[in-house]
């Protein structure tokens, strides 16, 4: 029954607080700032009818000090405060590049490489079809070679970033293997 945050993302969170005021009896002043830089305090006034507010445009992986000051013309309510830490920014792979394509293999690389990624999953399978195979790649790496493929075939390659938070983001690309030499 105190000021607290829900729906925390890398750039926003929702504050909830108990109903202390009404539209008639006052308003709330909300102050928030990164713990490391309290001088960058931002202030917002909220009608007494509200019991929640979304704060956005926040920095990722940052702890904020938040204070709710009930400005009542009837009673004194002590300010309530809380600390909220935003999540790491979860960017999906923005590029998947296929290179060094041969009859039986190709090279897959992706960007960016982020500290918040635990591992990458590279899923590949011929189109059309649903016989996909998976390669696990350590989060520190940004490329892998896919081998033992069929010549002259189009493959769908999906790179999924698996974040430390448990979230996943994916991006796909198409790759074609070269025609095999005669006699294969």
Domains, the chain: 4-85 (2.60.40.10), 95-177 (2.60.40.10)
How confident is the model over 17-58, as pLDDT tens digits?
999 999 999 999 999 999 999 999 999 999 999 999 999 999
Task: Answer whether residue 60 shows pLDDT above 60.
Answer: yes
113: tokens are: 């490489």
Alpha-carbon distances of 138 from 53, 81, 85, 161, 173, rounded to whole Å: 39, 40, 27, 10, 20
Give the contacts of 166 (CB within 8 A, at least 6 positions apart). none
> Do residues 54 and 13 make contact, with C-beta atoms less than 8 angstroms apart?
yes
How confident is the model over 145-161, as pLDDT tens digits?
999 999 999 999 999 99
DSSP 3-state assignment of 38? helix
In 3D space, the residue among 140, 123, 122, 145 whose CA is nearest the CA of residue 132 turns out to be 123
The whole-model pTM stands at 0.56
> How many CB atoms lie under 10 A from the CB of residue 32?
22
């Amino acid at each position: 029954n105190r000021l607290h945050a829900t729906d925390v993302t890398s750039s926003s969170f929702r504050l909830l607080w108990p109903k202390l005021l009404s539209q008639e009896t006052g308003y709330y002043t909300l102050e928030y700032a990164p713990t490391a830089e309290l001088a960058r305090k931002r202030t917002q006034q909220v009608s007494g009818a509200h019991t929640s507010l979304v704060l956005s445009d926040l920095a990722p992986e940052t702890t904020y000090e938040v204070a709710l000051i009930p400005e009542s013309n009837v009673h004194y309510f002590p300010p309530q405060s809380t600390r909220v830490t935003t999540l790491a920014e979860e960017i999906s792979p923005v590029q998947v590049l296929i290179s060094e394509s041969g009859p039986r293999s190709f090279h897959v690389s992706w960007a960016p490489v982020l500290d918040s990624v635990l591992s990458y999953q590279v899923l590949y399978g011929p189109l059309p079809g649903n016989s996909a195979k998976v390669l696990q790649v350590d989060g520190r790496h940004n490329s892998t070679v896919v081998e033992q493929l069929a010549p002259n075939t189009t493959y769908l390659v999906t790179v999924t970033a698996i974040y430390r938070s448990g979230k996943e983001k994916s991006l796909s690309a198409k790759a074609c293997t070269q025609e095999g030499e005669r006699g294969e």
